[in-house]
Amino acid sequence: MKKIVLIVVAVLVLAGGGFVFVKSRHKPPAPIVPPPEAAKQQPPAASTNTADKPQEPAQLSDGFVVSVLSVSKSNATEAIKMRLTNAGSTPLDVSPGKQFKLFGLTSKTERLPREVTENFAGTIPPNDKLEGSLYFDTLNDEESEVRFYPDLAQSTYLVVPLIPLPSDQQ
């Protein structure tokens, strides 16, 4: 019986010693070295394919600033009151009835406004603004977004966040 106990103790000691041996041979993780300045992540290059890709507001050279003043949605109509501001140095021609589209994210359906308030089109002089409302037929049971096309001859657009300005900024 003493021999069995000694053998069990010896196996346990050897197993524990082997564990320590394996543990002591394990290499510590390599230190984290920051990449050199040249290898740091550069901003992504501008894509040459602009079809169906939104254009960031900072990249709009036209001077348009689009502000949403209010949004109202029913089963049949989505009404969006907005302000177009010319932040550029040259007059801007605007045709909201053609430049804004309601786009269904699932069906890929595009809808032009069915109605635009009077005097919400024309030329905006530098540092001036134009306000009006657009009325779209609602895309039911589907998420949608409003897209603004600054230049109708190109496929680039800006997604207009439908978040109204706070009342103190209107």
The residue ranges of every structural domain in the chain are 57-169
Contacts of 122 (CB under 8 A, 6+ apart): 93, 94, 130
Host H or E run for residue 11: helix 2-25
Query: Which pLDDT does position 21 carry in this prediction?
Result: 44
Q: What percent of the chain has pLDDT over 90?
A: 39
pLDDT band at 164 (very low <50, low <70, confident <90, very high): confident
**91 burial level (CB within 10 Å; 0-12, 13-18, 19+):** middle
Question: Which range is least confidently modeled, 36-45, 60-69, 158-167?
Answer: 36-45
**55 burial level (CB within 10 Å; 0-12, 13-18, 19+):** buried
- What is this structure's pTM? 0.61
More confident residue, 59 or 40: 40
Contacts of 13 (CB under 8 A, 6+ apart): none
Q: What is the mean pLDDT of residues 150-163?
A: 88
**Domain 57-169 class, CATH top level:** mainly beta
Question: Looking at this protein, which amino acid is placed at residue 39?
Answer: A
- Tell whether the model's pLDDT for residue 125 goes beyond 70: yes
In angstroms, the Cα distances linking 41 to 33, 45, 55, 155, 157 are: 15, 11, 22, 29, 27
Query: Which pLDDT does position 4 carry in this prediction?
Result: 60
The predicted-structure confidence for 41-97, as pLDDT tens digits, reads as follows 444 444 334 444 443 433 345 688 898 999 998 889 999 999 999 998 899 999 999
More confident residue, 144 or 62: 144
The two tokens of residue 34 are: 């920051």
